[in-house]
Amino acid sequence: MNPHVDHPRWSQATERFIGSGGILDVQRQPTLLFNGYANEVASLYRGLNLRENF
């Protein structure tokens, strides 16, 4: 997932985080590039336009 490219209907810049209080304790946090696995998978996306191929 690329947080810098929005879905046609909503922003992907933030995501819901369910805290220690369960589903009633929903907070928002910044979305990490490639869902937080950027260091592990960045080489797979080398050379791609991440705005077009998000």
**Predicted confidence (pLDDT) per residue in 5-47, tens digit:** 888 898 999 988 887 777 777 888 999 988 888 899 989 988 8
Query: Is 52 inside any structural domain?
Result: no
Containing structural domain, residue 27? 1-44
Task: Answer yes or no: is 17 within a domain.
Answer: yes
Residue 54 covered by a domain: no
**51 within some domain:** no
- Whether residue 53 is contained in a domain is answered as no
Q: Is residue 12 part of a domain?
A: yes
- Give the residue, 53 or 49, on which the prediction is more confident: 49
- The pTM (predicted TM-score) of the whole model is 0.63
Strand partners, 18: 26
Within 10 angstroms of residue 7's Cβ, the number of other Cβ atoms is: 9
In this prediction, residue 54 carries a pLDDT of 64
Instruction: Tell me if 49 is assigned to some domain.
Output: no
3 within a domain of the structure (yes/no): yes
Total structural domains within the chain = 1
